[in-house]
Amino acid sequence: MKKNRIAILVSGRGSNLQALLDAIAAGQLEAEVVGVFSDKPKAPALARVPEPLRWSGDARRFPDRASFDAALADAVEAVRPDWVICAGYMRILGETFTARFRGRLLNIHPSLLPKYRGLHTHARALEAGDREHGASVHWVVPELDAGAVIAQAVIPVLPGDQPDDLAVRLLPREHALLAAVTAWVVQGRLTEQGDEAWLDGQPLLKPLSLDSAGQLTHPTAT
């Protein structure tokens, strides 16, 4: 059986990238990583894959965002990916890039979207007095963190929590969430139809949930 080809976009240490690599190695994700792409040439994430799979471009050396996005898109397209996953990629992708890969472009974001698009999500959740926090995997559209949400993982906000506490406690749930969603995506169970997330040929009325065992639960399940 032909394995799905995955391109992964990163900016930092690459822990979500590693979660996908681990899921592949464990036989939980029937896919292969065919390229890892970064806007930061010194991103530690790049060291997690062999050199032939790495591509990086210093975005600061490009005249504008559009020209960097075009170079990135060409490099990604060259590896013929079935799916493109933003796994800790911190630059906003322009409309031309998102249109080129629309319907096969995913992102993981550390908040319970639609809450707290953008940065500093842990601090913003605490400032708002939220009792729950979490992560979301969503389809990528030109508007920042605004695509249809596929699935979420939830953690409680505990008394005395600081932003770093939330970040540390959420991270393993992020990893499990991204691996679980990607596994269903490559199986063809999850698709983007218009502006909606669909599961098994039906629109999701609300996002899937990640249970304590790391499995995705349908919102209509009891």
Torsion of CA 13, 15, 21, 26, to 10 degrees: 150
Residue with tokens 């796994």: 87
Residue 109 is among the residues annotated as catalytic for this protein: yes
Active-site residue among 109, 122, 133, 138? 109
Give the closest residue to 209 by CA, choosing from 169, 156, 154. Answer: 154
- From residue 169, alpha-carbon distances to 28, 106, 186 in Å are 23, 23, 27
Hey, what amino acid is at 29? Answer: L
Contacts of 47 (CB under 8 A, 6+ apart): 14
List, by residue number, the catalytic residues: 109
